């Protein structure tokens, strides 16, 4: 799979270089004011191709939420301390060549060997530009969002629930645009999704939200164990 990805990258690079060569040739011809009608049409065609290729190179998706700003606290409504709904998300800048999108939400500061996965959504149509509040809370088969497994091996949204006194945790809402390929089956986990990202990703974007609990913010029940 990695060799296939490398071959694709080499082919793309060769295409970029060839476009630049043709573009520079036509620029030099244009400076000499010796453009023929055919050369002018070729120049415009080459320019269009070059712009499209550069858009792919520089592609970046802007991810946002009306509920919180980038690197700002996530409202309690979307956490284990509130209603536990998945927050509303929006994005723009998806390349025209994208066939679908995937979303992965992870807690980079969880005291675990790997980032804690809070949600996965796959096979989102490339034409879509948002997920409404609570879109990731539905049971399998409800709605149009194909959700995968979180780190608790359950489908849907795992609300932020950081340990008290552990400081602010950063929750990364990552959106990836993918080239055409096989749709995901069942409830894919992080490994399957990241394999597709490595093989077919065109562009990506990330929104960071934070959440923390101060010390002793969770009341103790009888026997000293934390409640809920």
Residue 227 has pLDDT above 50, yes or no: no
First to last CA, the chain: 44
Give the C-alpha separation, 116 to 91, whole Å: 23
Write the Ramachandran bin of 38: left for phi over 0, alpha for psi from -120 to 50, otherwise beta: alpha
Give the C-alpha separation, 42 to 20, whole Å: 13
Q: How far is CA 225 from CA 22, 111, 162, 218, in A?
A: 71, 19, 16, 10
List Cβ<8 Å contacts ≥24 apart for 214-219.
214/164, 214/165, 215/164, 215/165, 216/164, 216/165, 217/164, 218/164
Range picked from 63-67, 166-170, 186-190 for highest mean pLDDT: 63-67
- Sheet with strand 62-64: strands edge to edge: 62-64, 89-92, 130-131
CATH code, domain carrying 131 = 3.90.280.10
Residue 89 has pLDDT above 90, yes or no: yes
Higher pLDDT, 227 or 201: 201
* Domain identity same for 23 and 82: no
* pLDDT given for residue 23 in this prediction: 56
Residue 20 has pLDDT above 80, yes or no: no
* pLDDT given for residue 169 in this prediction: 93
Percent of all residues in the chain with a pLDDT value above 70, rounded to a whole number: 67
**Domain span at 166:** 62-211
* Domain identity same for 47 and 74: no
Domain count, the chain: 2
Give the C-alpha separation, 177 to 172, whole Å: 16
Q: Taking the CB of residue 222, how many other CB atoms lie within 10 A of it? A: 6
* Domain identity same for 81 and 172: yes
Residue 107 has pLDDT above 80, yes or no: yes
The reply to whether 219 falls in a domain is: no
The reply to whether 216 falls in a domain is: no
Q: Give the predicted TM-score (pTM) of the model.
A: 0.71
* Domain identity same for 158 and 119: yes
* Domain identity same for 44 and 125: no
What average pLDDT does the segment 117-140 reach?
A: 90
* Domain identity same for 83 and 19: no
**Helices and strands (H and E) in the chain: how many:** 3, 9
Residue 67 has pLDDT above 90, yes or no: yes
Q: What is the pLDDT of residues 55-65, one digit of tens each?
A: 555 568 999 99
The reply to whether 218 falls in a domain is: no
- Residue of 17, 3, 27, 5 lying closest to 200 (CA atoms): 5
């Amino acid at each position: 799979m990695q060799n296939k990805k490398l071959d694709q990258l080499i082919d793309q690079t060769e295409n970029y270089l060839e476009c630049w060569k043709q573009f520079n040739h036509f620029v030099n011809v244009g400076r000499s004011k010796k453009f023929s009608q055919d050369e002018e049409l070729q120049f415009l065609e080459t320019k269009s191709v070059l712009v499209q290729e550069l858009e792919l190179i520089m592609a970046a998706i802007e991810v946002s939420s009306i509920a919180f700003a980038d690197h700002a606290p996530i409202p309690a409504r979307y956490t284990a301390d509130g209603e536990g709904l998945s927050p509303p998300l929006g994005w723009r800048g998806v390349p025209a060549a994208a066939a679908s999108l995937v979303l992965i939400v992870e807690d980079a500061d969880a005291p675990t060997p790997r980032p804690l996965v809070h949600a996965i959504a796959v096979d989102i149509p490339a034409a879509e530009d948002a997920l409404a509040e609570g879109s990731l809370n539905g049971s399998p088969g409800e709605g149009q969002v194909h959700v995968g497994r979180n780190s608790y091996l359950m489908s849907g949204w795992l609300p932020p629930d950081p340990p008290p006194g552990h400081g602010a945790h950063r929750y990364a809402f990552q959106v990836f645009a993918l080239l055409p390929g096989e749709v995901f089956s069942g409830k894919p986990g992080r490994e399957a999704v990241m394999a597709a990202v490595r093989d077919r990703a065109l562009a990506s974007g990330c929104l960071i939200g934070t959440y923390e609990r101060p010390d002793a913010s969770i009341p103790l029940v009888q026997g000293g164990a934390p409640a809920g």
